[in-house]
Structure 1
């Protein structure tokens, strides 16, 4: 069967920078070895002796037949004194395990087509998405596979396409684009529940374009109650505390830099307030981000594409929207505290904030479900409330 393979430029231009990486994937997490790679490594004349101690057989599945043994510094046992992979150096890429060959590359199927992406838990991937020129130019070529997969429902395809159009509407501030997307998701909920026909999504999109052009969308956003510091703080501290629980070993020192910056904003009584984080955002982070005006638009385009928004996990479209805004809110908080700590933001700081958050996010099982629970507890379970996270 002929289908399409879609690859954005941020994937095409990705190259592992090896020992120069700020947070190498050869440190601090379980590196799974498939059965074929395990056997070939043990049979390789230059690697078999090292493999006896650097690999541990676990036999969980064909894909997780063994795992790399980490040394006392958390490094994969196959790294040499220059932090370079000896498997790659002595046997070539073909002998690498599937994990090492592919990470941070990822792919998902949508409507029988294959869409390639990168995980932001890799610093170089984050750099490609956030800072490289033209990351969202797409190449498309023929792709063959025999699987028959269920296509995305029409409501999801429409919601995806219209969300991107609303986000990128020329001259429209980001917060208004997100307001429009949130309203669109409420209609999408009803279509997904078969309460309305899919044409209702088309009609709502057209209405939102008109509301944006006549200024009513801005009035709608400005009318929300902005006095939400207590609720914002509850959401931030609950999520950050959970991310601090059973932290992954990889990138822990970078995560602790975030924690250190948060604590540095504490008052004399060691209390941290959302007012101080918001003040840091306004006074230090925003001026430091001049010249990076497209930062969050790029991130959201990546998010829509990578997460297959609004079909995220088992969430409703509106729940997926609220989780997305929470991710945006947490990243804004990270950038704010790091800006206050360093009295500015370098490209390295920005990449670290995005990469550290996504490293910890992706290693938390049921993250989306946990966040939706926190949002309900913090009274961010409707559109008017969740949009105040953008204040």
Structure 2
């Protein structure tokens, strides 16, 4: 069977902007070098001396043959004063490590097809995903390159397709849609536990579509409890973990977000979730009227990028919990930035999404830490998780 490569518009339009990047991936980043690239760099007469001083062999496997030791200032030793890569400049792209050559590009396999995407941890990628014209126009092209198929269970295919369909339904906003997706994923979870057949997802999707059209989803979301103290605990716990894990926590870009959070504190440096939620309602929402589809775009990216709700352990509810948690954290970040600047510029929005995803998409401890935080907070059940998104009056 012929394989296809699926490519969204934001991938086709991406090009590294190099020295113009506001958060270079050549600073405060962990770079692993594969064996083939290591040997090429070490053999190059213009790179050998610098490579001997800055590349440390670890010989774990061919994909992780060496690591690059960054300077005390957090800069890659191959990063020149013009913010361009010396390896690329003198030896060409083919000499770059696979990490440097591919980032922020991501390639995943689903069934017989390959799916291309970008990491939101790159500012330019975030800008294209969140604001780019035709970002979600998808191309499907046959490929002769061999692709190792990855089998996808029927429940995952149905949950993926129906989640996108619910997201594109114009009868609900993005928060109400998340509640619908949660109810759908709850059915998928029953299928994985052999408590129901995959056909239950068909019936559930039909019911949820009807609920959206009749306004019942809106009513269901409005009936969820509003628990600002609970929200504050989650926000502080996850943000504190991000502060500990973020490789650029001492850089100005992360500092902007942290300063905005601190500015929301009172004299005792105690945050008030009511103030954050009020900033969302009163400042952020009006500022986002020109970009009302911001979270819908993010959710479409999210579902596609992660092949939601597939996880390594086939736990669709776990995937859903992370989806809601991510939206909650991003909404809170946007709220504090809006309060700080009395509005939201495109730069502010990109900063919030990109800075968060440096940890979200690249730190292995993120999943373990967040899962522990959510378990300790008794966040169990779709309604309890979605209640994170409630604000006063919604």
Tell me which interval the TM-score lies in, with the shorter structure as reference length.
over 0.9
Once the two structures are superposed, the pairs formed by residues 41-80 of structure 1 within 5 Å of their partners are: 41-80=41-80
After superposing the two structures, state which structure 1 stretch, 313-322 or 79-88, moved more: 313-322
**Shift in Å, 1:250:** 7.4
The match for 2:138 is 138
Q: Is the 8 A contact 2:171 2:213 kept in 1?
A: no
Question: Take 1:101 and 1:256, find their aligned partners in 2: how far apart are those partners?
Answer: 29
Q: 1:179 to 1:75 in 2, by over 3 A?
A: same
Q: Is the 8 A contact 2:113 2:149 kept in 1?
A: no
TM-score by length of 1: 0.95
Once the two structures are superposed, the pairs formed by residues 52-131 of structure 1 within 5 Å of their partners are: 52-131=52-131
String of CA shifts for 1:101-125, please: whole Å, max 9, x gaps: 1000011111121111111111111
1:342 equivalent in alignment to 2:302: no
Task: For residue 114 of structure 1, give the secondary structure of its aligned residue in structure 2.
Answer: strand
1:384 equivalent in alignment to 2:383: yes
Task: For residue 115 of structure 1, give the secondary structure of its aligned residue in structure 2.
Answer: strand
Once the two structures are superposed, the pairs formed by residues 293-372 of structure 1 within 5 Å of their partners are: 293-314=292-313, 316-372=315-371
TM-score by length of 2: 0.94
**Shift in Å, 1:214:** 1.8
The match for 1:247 is 246
After superposing the two structures, state which structure 1 stretch, 289-298 or 167-176, moved more: 167-176
String of CA shifts for 1:243-269, please: whole Å, max 9, x gaps: 122432478432222221111111122
Task: For residue 155 of structure 2, give the secondary structure of its aligned residue in structure 1.
Answer: helix
Q: Is the 8 A contact 1:232 1:274 kept in 2?
A: yes
The match for 1:184 is 184
The match for 2:219 is 219
1:257 equivalent in alignment to 2:271: no
Q: Is the 8 A contact 2:359 2:366 kept in 1?
A: no
Question: Take 1:57 and 1:103, find their aligned partners in 2: how far apart are those partners?
Answer: 21
**Shift in Å, 1:8:** 0.8
Question: Take 1:209 and 1:103, find their aligned partners in 2: how far apart are those partners?
Answer: 38
Question: Take 2:79 and 2:363, find their aligned partners in 1: how far apart are those partners?
Answer: 27
Task: For residue 67 of structure 1, give the secondary structure of its aligned residue in structure 2.
Answer: strand
Task: For residue 60 of structure 2, give the secondary structure of its aligned residue in structure 1.
Answer: coil
After superposing the two structures, state which structure 1 stretch, 373-382 or 339-348, moved more: 373-382
**Shift in Å, 1:377:** 2.5
Q: 1:110 to 1:44 in 2, by over 3 A?
A: same
Task: For residue 245 of structure 1, give the secondary structure of its aligned residue in structure 2.
Answer: helix
The match for 1:197 is 197
Question: Take 2:249 and 2:146, find their aligned partners in 1: how far apart are those partners?
Answer: 37
**Shift in Å, 1:210:** 1.2
Question: Take 1:169 and 1:213, find their aligned partners in 2: how far apart are those partners?
Answer: 9
Q: 1:147 to 1:89 in 2, by over 3 A?
A: closer
Question: Take 1:341 and 1:148, find their aligned partners in 2: how far apart are those partners?
Answer: 49
Q: Is the 8 A contact 2:5 2:116 kept in 1?
A: yes
Aligned-residue Cα RMSD (Å) equals 1.7
**Shift in Å, 1:316:** 2.1
Which 5+ residue runs of structure 1 have no aligned equivalent? none
After superposing the two structures, state which structure 1 stretch, 313-322 or 96-105, moved more: 313-322
Q: Is the 8 A contact 2:4 2:114 kept in 1?
A: yes
1:266 equivalent in alignment to 2:265: yes
The match for 1:238 is 237
Q: Is the 8 A contact 2:172 2:218 kept in 1?
A: no
Question: Take 2:310 and 2:144, find their aligned partners in 1: how far apart are those partners?
Answer: 25
After superposing the two structures, state which structure 1 stretch, 307-316 or 321-330, moved more: 307-316
Q: Is the 8 A contact 1:261 1:338 kept in 2?
A: yes
Q: Is the 8 A contact 2:309 2:319 kept in 1?
A: yes
The match for 1:34 is 34
Which 5+ residue runs of structure 2 have no aligned equivalent? none
